[in-house]
Amino acid sequence: MDVNLLKEMVDYGIIGLLGFMSFLTVWFWIERLLYFRSIDLKTFTCKQELEIALTNHTSILSTFGSNAPYIGLLGTVVAIIITFYTLGIDGDIDVKQIMTSLALALKATAMGLLVAIPAIFFYNHLVRKIEVMLTRWEIEHANKKV
């Protein structure tokens, strides 16, 4: 297999996947915020039904937040393997080429972290909003019973 093809697969495959995950992370966070603004707690008679409605799509954010660094690390490891493979084939040790290849390999890990950090922030932000809305629902229903 061609080494340049492998490098492009890492660049476009791993970085592309992480970019797509980043887009979806922002999309689902905004979607949930808009939903939270439009929701009327009084329309729910069952707490579990409300909880299901509120937590829809939040697991995607936590999944992206926890897995993006691993996907980035996979890209880095594959790029380092490609670098060592290229060195083995060429047999010519050019320090400049090695350092450039290793530096470029780390971009996948950096991208993974750039996806994971906001995803975990957005997830925690939504979880707190969900907790507040569930508590408000409980207070409203407790006041109705009194």
Domain map (residue ranges) of the chain: 3-145
The pTM (predicted TM-score) of the whole model is 0.85
pLDDT tens-digit readout, 21-41: 999 999 999 999 999 999 999
Rounded to whole angstroms, the Cα distance separating 97 from 130 reads 51
pLDDT tens-digit readout, 70-86: 999 999 998 888 888 88
Cβ atoms of 111 and 73 within 8 Å: the answer is no
